[in-house]
Amino acid sequence: MMIKRTHGYRNIVLALAVVAIFSATATAQEEPRQGPPEIHEGRGEHEMILIHGLGGDADIWDDCLPYLKGTFKVWTFELAGHGRTRPIPSPTIGKEVERLGAFIKDQGITYPTLVGHAMGGMIALRYTIDHPADVGRLIVLDAAPLQLASEEQKAAVGIELANDYDKFVYSRFINMTPNQEITERIVDTALRTDSATFISLLMSSFDFDVSGQLYSMPVPMLVVGSELMFPGKDQSKHQLEHYGFGKARSLSFKRMGGTGHFMMLERPVYLASVLLAFGVSADPQFDR
């Protein structure tokens, strides 16, 4: 996510994946609790795990679930320090990948389709690269494998966070969607997120870069991009390369026009249909 605002608010979307220059420790020094695990039974044999982004929570998928669980057994994975899940000490993307792995093992989930939104997409990417034989398909929503920022950009975000944390969070979420009701919800949820967790995860994502490893990842991947992140319909291929997807071995792309960053709240039925099509089809027809 880029700090520099040369391309409008799609850079704010990516900016939520970058982190402050100073360190932070989670407020709780105990193991996180997510229980009971969120499972939404379905009639099909397929399994799907939905992972929200930074500042969100597991409830963000509620509007999509009724359309998914007719085909999938659906699980929602909640990040530590978010929603109803306790913080952990000094959370990072790497630690959340480990938590995801433990979650999959503990619940006996086999060969799932991983769906990750924003930072959740980064976590899903890292887990899939590390465990390609354990993932059926990968779907990332408004997420990118390349999140490098300069030291100056890190320092600038660090100063903003130190001066006024609430203002920083508010400013990053206030223009994510044109829908005022959704905006109020996502801002409130973000501000309720454990602040030390938010900062520490933001920090850990500054140097996130798995773009060079995509070529060796055999798992079929779908990138779903909102109009906020992909404003130019005819420029999507160039934008995918800019965001770090150029070396992907198996990549499909779907641009969802008329949506802000929180497409699961803005167009839940449409998004669910996209997830279903890619999750179960032998040869889903998307943009290449």
Q: What domains can you pick out in the chain, each with its CATH number?
A: 10-21+36-280 (3.40.50.1820)
- The pLDDT tens digits for 263-283 are 999 999 999 999 999 977 655
pLDDT tens-place string over residues 127-149? 999 999 999 999 999 999 998 78
Are the C-beta atoms of 104 and 134 separated by less than 8 Å? yes
In this predicted structure, what is the pLDDT of residue 23?
31
pLDDT of residue 13: 40
| Bridge partner list, 251 | 221
What is the 3-class SS of the chain, one letter each residue? CCCCCCCCCHHHHHHCCCCCCCCCCCCCCCCCCCCCCEEECCCCCEEEEEECCCCCCHHHHCCCHHHHCCCEEEEEECCCCCCCCCCCCCCCHHHHHHHHHHHHHHCCCCCCEEEEECHHHHHHHHHHHHCHHHCCEEEEECCCCECCCCHHHHHHHHHHHHHCHHHHHHHHHCCCCCCHHHHHHHHHHHHHCCHHHHHHHHHHHCCCECHHHHHHCCCCEEEEEECCCCCCHHHHHHHHHHCCCCCCCCEEEEEECCCCCCHHHHCHHHHHHHHHHHHHCCCCCCEC
Contacts of 215 (CB under 8 A, 6+ apart): 247, 248, 249
| Spatial contact of 153 and 18, defined as CB atoms under 8 Å apart | yes
Percent of the chain surpassing pLDDT 70: 82
Determine the pLDDT at residue 24.
Answer: 30
For residue 8, the model assigns a pLDDT of 36
Mean pLDDT (the chain, rounded):
84
Residue 7 clears pLDDT 50, i.e. is over it: no
pLDDT band of residue 28 (cuts 50, 70, 90) is very low
Looking at residue 147, its pLDDT comes to 86
HSE, CB side, 13 Å, CA atoms: give it for residue 170.
Answer: 5
Averaged pLDDT, 55-62: 97
pLDDT at 189: 97
Q: Which residue has the higher pLDDT, 288 or 205?
A: 205
Q: What is the pTM of this model?
A: 0.86
What is the number of other CB atoms lying within 10 angstroms of the CB of residue 163? 9
